[in-house]
Amino acid sequence: MWLPEGGDATVNSPLTEHDTVHDVLGVGFGPSNLALAIAIDEHNATAPREGRLNALFLERQPCFGWHRGMLIDDATMQVSFLKDLVTLRNPSSDFSFLCFLRERGRLIDFLNQKTLFPLRVEFHEYLEWAADRVRHLVAYDHEVTSISPVRDESGTVVFYDVTCRNPRATGGSVTYRARDICVAVGLEPHLPPGAELSDRVWHNSALMQRVGELVAARTPVRRAVVLGAGQSAAETVDYLHRSFPEAEVCAVFAKYGYTPADDSPFANRIFDPEAVDAYFQAPSEVKQTLFDYHRSTNYSVVDMELIESLYATAYQEKVAGRERLRFLNVSRISGVTPRPDGLLDVAVEYLPTGELQLLRADLLVHATGYRPRDLTSLLGEAAKVCLRDDSDAVRVRRDHRVETASDVQAGIYLQGGTEHTHGLTSTLLSTTAIRAGEIQRCLVDRLAMPSRQPTAA
């Protein structure tokens, strides 16, 4: 059913077509909510019936997928396999990456590599394997379109009704009701102001698909331009250079060169679970200082091995007298003009002098990162019950639950979009397993509250 627009539902409104109230609905099913689903599944396997969580996760994609557009064949993870979906929470879990390898018959082969960092395609295979094992908790092809508070007779918000677009449902939509929701919808591609995507202008999140289409169609590529200075930008430059052996690939960025990622042991402590506690408790000015100090662990930085490889390639080409790999540093793109022949005129400004260079290109790829999705748009009517700080950011408790108005009993948990309260790990895999355990335990504790005992709706 669709809920009326512009207002809360009441507890007397029609229940979901499944005639049930879930303890928690997960909005989105990437690694964060997958880790929560596993934690709930493992809890339910040993808990008495009255202590089990009735959970359902809603995902707009038809199947599990995580950054498929950047699953470059030889790209490796930038985080240890021990920071998988479960190990830091429960080292004995059979949902671990090592158990996945054992089931696939590759455990010894992986260990012989003497590395902590698996291939990205292999880690994605692990995530798919784990997602398949908890598929009974997931509804795919469910795109959430609205989240509405549901009040009881006293005016207290006791549930949320979550409406989803689903092509197989009667009327094309379905609504679920829950005592709590957990929002984990990841990040969205970020584009420079005024940038417009097209068949010739992409964000790197679509890299693999787009390159595959060009190769399949045998479309000639003579020049590709890549904007960006982070890991994904460098990987995009390298991949295009290898995929189109006759093309010139131009990397454009405002720095003099790629900045190495700081993955030293002491700096990596910013990703420790204890660092989340320290960050959460710190005054706002200390939070900002810590964030600024440690940006180089995650933002606009590149693995040193890739930096050295790209530099070596460029130098070898210079020696050979055929430079296909070009680095336009201390520069920015000042304009993009589509041409009648389908190509692009890309204006590149050299920042120290303002000199313009016009590049006629077949492709422009914006490897310009990601940003958190707008929480107000995601939550819709439910956003109105969330409390905000002086910067208009949502206030979030240490247990990842949004602080809400006093007349709200139903909870909203966030996995992501909490850098301002929980630090750099908010959008990263580093503490995913532990965060999932914290939320699962909180959900179980709330389930035992007298006000949370099952009632007829």
Q: Tell me: the pLDDT tens digits for 186-209?
A: 899 999 999 999 999 999 999 999
Q: How many CB atoms lie within 10 A of CB 302?
A: 20
Mean pLDDT on 63-91: 96
In this prediction, residue 178 carries a pLDDT of 97
In this prediction, residue 167 carries a pLDDT of 86
What superfamily in CATH does domain 9-186+373-452 come from? FAD/NAD(P)-binding domain (3.50.50.60)
Assigned CATH class of 190-261+299-370: alpha beta
Strands 223-227, 363-366: pairing is: parallel
pLDDT at 1 over 50: no
Q: How far apart are the first and last CA of the chain?
A: 16
Identical fold at 9-186+373-452 and 190-261+299-370? yes
pLDDT at 144 over 60: yes
In this prediction, residue 291 carries a pLDDT of 87
The structure tokens listed for 140 are 């795919």
Task: Report the sign of the C-alpha dihedral through residues 31, 35, 40, 42, in that order.
Answer: positive
CB 336 within 8 A of CB 364: yes
The structure tokens listed for 150 are 């549901």
Q: How far is CA 225 from CA 231, 272, 343, 362, in A?
A: 16, 37, 12, 8
Mean pLDDT on 114-133: 97
Query: How is the chain split into domains, by residue range?
Result: 9-186+373-452, 190-261+299-370, 267-297
In this prediction, residue 398 carries a pLDDT of 96
Mean pLDDT on 305-330: 97
Tens digit of pLDDT for each residue in 335-383?
A: 999 999 999 999 999 999 999 999 999 999 999 999 988 989 999 999 9
Tens digit of pLDDT for each residue in 311-320?
A: 999 999 999 9
Q: How confident is the model at residue 300 (pLDDT cuts 50, 70, 90)?
A: confident
Q: Is 62 exposed, middle or buried (0-12, 13-18, 19+ CB in 10 A)?
A: exposed
Mean pLDDT on 242-251: 97
pLDDT at 7 over 60: no
Average pLDDT, the chain: 93
Q: Which of 185, 174, 330 is nearest to 251 (CA)?
A: 330
In this prediction, residue 246 carries a pLDDT of 95
Q: Report which of residues 147 and 300 the model is more confident about.
A: 147
In this prediction, residue 293 carries a pLDDT of 86
In this prediction, residue 449 carries a pLDDT of 80
Instruction: Record the pTM.
Output: 0.93
The structure tokens listed for 226 are 């890549």
CB 47 within 8 A of CB 207: no
Phi then psi for 263, rounded to 5 degrees? Answer: -115, 30
Phi then psi for 384, rounded to 5 degrees? Answer: -70, -20
Q: How confident is the model at residue 457 (pLDDT cuts 50, 70, 90)?
A: very low
